[in-house]
Copies of this chain bind each other. A is one copy, B any other.
Amino acid sequence: MNWLDDGALFNQISAFLSEDLGRGDITTQATVTRNSRARGRFLAKEPLVVAGLEAAEAVFGALDSQQQLEAFVSDGDEVEAGKVIARANGFADVLLSGERVALNLLQRLSGIATLTRQFVRAIEGTGAQIVDTRKTTPGLRMLVKYAVQAGGGRNHRFGLDDGVLIKDNHIALAGGVGAAVERAKREVGHLHKIEVEVSTDKDLREAVSSGADILLLDNLTPEETARFVGLARELSTNVLLESSGGIRLENVRAYAEAGVDLISVGALTHSARAMDISFKIQAGS
């Protein structure tokens, strides 16, 4: 896991466990003999791209610092239905009490990685790249963006401090594309590029002439997109182009073929369903 350092991951996982455990797992405490041992296996019940193994291991590790996960695949791997993804031998109560949180993470992150992989496949061979958005579940951004990477996508901004993206709302309030870009270039640090949404030819010309580095083409058809790409390429050899809005598996290739560099897809993170993964426990070590 790239950005999330171990300490931050541990703190986040501990909060997730605390949410689920409250004052303790009363069922397990009441029914399972303390210190008895068990084996658990994570099993893919459908084809999927794995993501979240480290997070799942951290769940058990937060309950018992000795508990590890033996993984048979790596994050980013595609597996078939029936594949045992990982297994854990340990204390029965640790496996039982951590099961739900571990599955909640593994199922969701694998869901995002799997959907991302489908989008990436759909545009293979074009020069475009699939990127995510900030449409992530509150509280899970780092993990979710990591799952997009595991699926083969790339990450757009991690937060509002992580890049300048001037959208329609900003433009309206700033008094036009050119004014907004110029203000941004003057105000933000010299290490930041400027991306701006353009919706008319005039906007596009203003954006390029005021020095925008990236143009966002939002909610256009592939045909309109292609026209804007052509116009932009005439005006600048450096400017990057990004499509967003209304992009689905069915039409993503058309956008890629329209010549944009980046295609951002909110659905990767706001509407991926959880993958069907089970965790089966049996007694013994």
Q: Closest B-chain residue to A99, C-beta based?
A: B169
Instruction: Tell yes or no: A101 within 8 A of B by CB.
Output: yes
Contact residues on A (Cβ < 8 Å of other chain), bracket: 35 or more
Are B97 and A160 within 8 A (Cβ)? Answer: yes
Identical chains in the assembly: 6
Instruction: Tell yes or no: A20 within 8 A of B by CB.
Output: yes
A230-258 interface bits toward B, Cβ cutoff 8 Å, 1 = contact, 0 = none: 00000000001010000000000000000
**Listed stretches A81-89, A117-125, A139-147; interface member:** A139-147
A residues 195-253 near B (Cβ < 8 Å) are: 195, 213-214, 240, 242
A125-139 interface bits toward B, Cβ cutoff 8 Å, 1 = contact, 0 = none: 000000100111111
| A positions within 8 Å CB-CB of B | 2-5, 7, 12, 14-16, 19-33, 36, 38, 62-63, 92, 96-97, 99-101, 103-105, 107-108, 131, 134-142, 154-167, 169-174, 180, 183-184, 186-193, 195, 213-214, 240, 242, 261-262, 270-271, 273-274, 280-283
